[in-house]
Amino acid sequence: MTARLIEGNAVAEAIRNELRKRISDLSAEGIRPGLAVIMVGDDPGSAVYVRMKEKESTELGILSRTIKLPADTPESKLLELIDELNADPKIHGLLVQMPVPKHIDPEKVIMRISPEKDVDGFHPVNVGKMLIGDRTGFLSCTPHGIQVMMERSGIETAGRHVVICGRSNIVGKPMAALLMQKGKGADATVTVCHSKTKDMPSFTRQADILIVAMGSPQFIKEDMVKDGAVVIDVGMNRVPDAAAKKGYRLVGDVDFEAVSRKASAITPVPGGVGLMTRVLLMENTVKAAEKTKKR
């Protein structure tokens, strides 16, 4: 079997078009959605993500504020800045790019962001709402992006066995929570594998849908995948490549070429899940702005 490519771009563009309409409706009421992104330190990978979030916001007409702080910024200063942005009526969505430097406690940072502006969906109030199936909060962008991408690409999840590799708070755990819910784009039977799982291939080979978020370049090989499975690759790894202009290339957590021969559908890296994460962040920002109208 040769896998169909699930391209993030087509789905992301359809969502952008819907957002343009919602943004124009808000504009008619004098509201422009605003997103603030704080980055502490100068991790090159994070810098790329932050730049792409800025570009996506600006292209949609969302007010974008990127605040870069030096790596030695005291935790108290960062928390003060969050307080200021929590109180700023022009800013509807606020996030701090992770990871933060070691002297800053990421839990404290997440707890300080107002749940009403937590467009990352990382605050316990939003995580809790997601877990009980309450859609009034903000869903975490990457897992929600994957759910939407599958729904809009005609991939049925109801009654299917989804195996998730990785148990992070950003991807694995919320992904499992979303897909096990009752309802559209969910109703799956979910297994979560992680670094302490014994004989991981025995689980991945049972997957109708395999979602991989391990941060391990090309970890999933052909013999770990069932014939005809759908494979969603959340990995984004830089591997050294002397022939590449930048000296590295980006690869996912899946051995794309080999697995493509066996899967029925697969996401590319780059050009797959990453695009969805960004566009769902924009959707959360628009949702946050719309909520201010209802108050």
Please answer whether residues 213 and 171 qualify as being in contact, where contact means their C-beta atoms are separated by less than 8 angstroms: yes
Decide whether 109 or 229 has the Cβ nearer to ligand GUN: 109
User: Is residue 170 a contact point for ligand GUN (CB under 6 A)?
Assistant: yes
User: Is residue 120 a contact point for ligand GUN (CB under 6 A)?
Assistant: yes
53 catalytic residue (yes or no)? yes
Distance CA 208, CA 162 (A): 6
Cα dist from 72 to 64, 68, 82, 125, whole Å? 24, 12, 17, 29
Least Å from the CB of residue 227 to ligand GUN: 32
Kindly state the tokens that stand for 168: 């992070």
Indicate which residue of 120, 233, 253, 255 is catalytic.
Answer: 120
CA atoms within 13 A on the CB side of 78: 30
Distance CA 270, CA 107 (A): 29
User: Is residue 98 a contact point for ligand GUN (CB under 6 A)?
Assistant: yes
Burial label for 21, CB within 10 Å (0-12, 13-18, 19+), is exposed
253 catalytic residue (yes or no)? no
User: Is residue 141 a contact point for ligand GUN (CB under 6 A)?
Assistant: yes
User: Is residue 57 a contact point for ligand GUN (CB under 6 A)?
Assistant: no
Count of chain residues binding ligand GUN (CB under 6 A)? 9
Decide whether 96 or 259 has the Cβ nearer to ligand GUN: 96
User: Is residue 95 a contact point for ligand GUN (CB under 6 A)?
Assistant: yes
- Name which position in 97, 147, 260, 267 contacts ligand GUN (CB under 6 A): 97
For residue 170, report the phi and psi dihedrals to the nearest 5 degrees: -80, -35
Distance CA 149, CA 97 (A): 23
Decide whether 201 or 215 has the Cβ nearer to ligand GUN: 215
Decide whether 96 or 220 has the Cβ nearer to ligand GUN: 96
Stretch that binds ligand GUN, among 6-14, 92-100, 143-151, 178-186 (CB under 6 A): 92-100
User: Is residue 111 a contact point for ligand GUN (CB under 6 A)?
Assistant: no
Decide whether 120 or 208 has the Cβ nearer to ligand GUN: 120
Stretch that binds ligand GUN, among 57-65, 85-93, 94-102, 251-259 (CB under 6 A): 94-102
End-to-end CA distance of the chain: 53
253: helix, strand or coil: coil
Token pair 């004098």 is found at: 30
Kindly state the tokens that stand for 70: 């030096």
Binding-site string for ligand GUN from residue 273 to residue 292, where x marks contact by CB under 6 A and - marks none: ----x---------------
Least Å from the CB of residue 156 to ligand GUN: 26
Distance CA 156, CA 162 (A): 11
231: helix, strand or coil: strand
Least Å from the CB of residue 277 to ligand GUN: 6
Measured at CB, which residue is nearest to ligand GUN? 98
Decide whether 140 or 260 has the Cβ nearer to ligand GUN: 140
Burial 266-285 (b: 16+ CB within 10 A, else e): bbbbeebbbbbbbbbbbbbb
Footprint of ligand GUN (CB under 6 A)? 95-98, 120, 141-142, 170, 277
Residues assigned a catalytic role: 53, 97, 120
